Amino acid sequence: MATVCVNQVETAGQSPIAAALADKVRRRTARVGVIGLGYVGLPLAMEFAGAGFTVTGIDVQAGKVAAVNAGRSYIQDVDAEAFRAMVESGRLRATDDFAVIRELDTLNIAVPTPLRKTKDPDMTYVVAACEQVARYAHPGLLVILESTTYPGTTDELVLPMLEAAGLRVGVDVFLCFSPERVDPGNPVYQTANIPKVVGGVTPACTELGALLYEQALEKVVRVSSTKVAEMVKLLENTFRMINIGMVNELAQQCERMQVDVWEVIDAAATKPFGFMPFYPGPGLGGHCIPIDPYYLSWKTRQTGMEARFIELAGAINGQMPHFVVEKIQNALNDQSKPLRGSRVLVMGVAYKRNIDDVRESPALDVMHVLQSRGALVSYSDPFVPRIEFEGELMESVELMAGVGEADCVVILTDHSEFPYGEVLERAAVVVDTRNALKGRVSAKIVKL
Ligand code: SAJ
């Protein structure tokens, strides 16, 4: 954490507006705003408040605003007690009124950037937020976009909106991009200790963005432009998506050749350099990995080029639910049971272990395919008490009861707390798509 210096002399070459803002940031008297109080914005607001800033969260969802002002954290990674104390101390509050931007000195924008059905970027939330920012922006304001997006967004979409409001970026206002790197549920890496990349429209912008983060976060990485910062995030997550696609294809190759893909990967992972293990699974879930790469492939297409790795990995990852259903069908077939009318219990619907998030979860795709082929599907997930599935509300069933009634159990999310030994004992057959039963030997186990 950078030490706080007071009575800083003006950094050489800094404009008076920039110098004044820098001084307020160093003194922690800068009034900080965060737009978007989700799994990125709320932890970030907490870090700024914890660093001594007075923070105003802005969100269009009245429920979130009310929860924040009641001191109630709704984000798993934000400690409830610390959050309540921070709100009670007056350091953190929320509003849905964007006019508050008039009194703010810095603004982080962390709103969703989903995909449309056509797999094109949906910039609705970013545009809506930036329209409000441009409406209330004033000289001396630092704006940092954090939402994952295609390279060029900050320069081509956000900057013109600020300039149209009569503000010169790099002179009156300062504009950066800084990719969010929040990993929900990660017990080791949280907002404060994840290195923060930041790139500005001008060097003065970059310096101010970096200075703000240095007050609250452990490590800040300056890059030369907003485009570099935007591309950094896309590389990080495209790297994962493509490598997951590769091992998902490897799983199918290994099945054809009767090789245990899990043993292969574990053995390859003993290589102390030049290798990073990824594991096959039922598909690609979450709000980052299945989505972010398509922001890159979309922008690539605008330049007249195809992002072939992304398209191929997307196709492979996208058909994994069908590969899993085939495994289930074969497992039932070995018991002379047709899929139609058989009871299949899904263990775990969250998109990855030990979290409660079902966004883009491949488990929902597997369940959809199973149901469309006539299987009687139920699920059990200690983190997810109920889901809306095919327009119906579906409750999580008690695990061992579900296992006892099922013709086939399929592990789609390997939550740590599942009693895998008991499940294996009671189940008729278990299709294990996560190698959760690693080390156990039984004819009942069907591995991916
Ligand atoms: N998955 C596999 N095989 C793997 C790894 C993941 O099938 O080897 C699946 C997961 O089950 C999940 C999906 O891919 O369905 C995404 O998993 P993830 O581990 O990438 O987790 P996310 O989506 O929470 O990704 C976040 C990302 N963080 C940010 O975007 C800031 C990602 O960059 C992180 O690397 C990742 O967490 C992480 O490392 O946990």
Pocket test for ligand 1, best of 40, 183, 188 (most atoms within 8 A of CB): 183
Which of 11, 12, 105, 15 shows the shortest CA–CA distance to 56? 105
Report pLDDT for 14: 83
- Catalytic residue selected from 130, 205, 288, 408: 288
Question: pTM for this structure?
Answer: 0.92
Query: Is the CB–ligand 1 distance for residue 352 below 6 Å?
Result: yes
Report pLDDT for 183: 86
Nearest CA owner, ligand 1 atom 29: 181
Pocket test for ligand 1, best of 233, 234, 240 (most atoms within 8 A of CB): 240
CA 69, CA 64: separation in Å to the nearest integer? 9
Query: Is the CB–ligand 1 distance for residue 430 below 6 Å?
Result: no
Report pLDDT for 12: 55
Question: Per 3-state DSSP, what percentage of the chain is helix, strand, and coil (rounded to 5)?
Answer: 40, 15, 45
- Among the CATH numbers 3.40.1280.10, 3.50.50.60, 3.40.50.720, 3.40.50.620, which is that of 8-224? 3.40.50.720
Report pLDDT for 3: 43
CA 81, CA 436: separation in Å to the nearest integer? 34
Which of 443, 437, 442 shows the shortest CA–CA distance to 262? 437
Which of 50, 62, 58 shows the shortest CA–CA distance to 33? 58
Report pLDDT for 254: 98
Nearest CA owner, ligand 1 atom 19: 352
Give 10-residue mean pLDDT values along the chain (448 residues).
Answer: 41 83 98 97 98 98 98 94 98 98 98 94 98 98 98 98 97 98 88 97 98 98 98 98 98 98 98 98 94 97 97 97 98 97 98 92 98 98 97 97 98 98 98 98 97
Query: Is the CB–ligand 1 distance for residue 181 below 6 Å?
Result: yes
CATH number of 239-447: 3.40.50.720
CB within 8 A of 82, min separation 6: which ones?
46, 50
Q: Is 5 a catalytic residue?
A: no
Residues of the chain with CATH 3.40.50.720: 8-224, 239-447
| 8-state DSSP, 304 | T
Query: Is the CB–ligand 1 distance for residue 293 below 6 Å?
Result: no
CA 7 to chain centre: 40
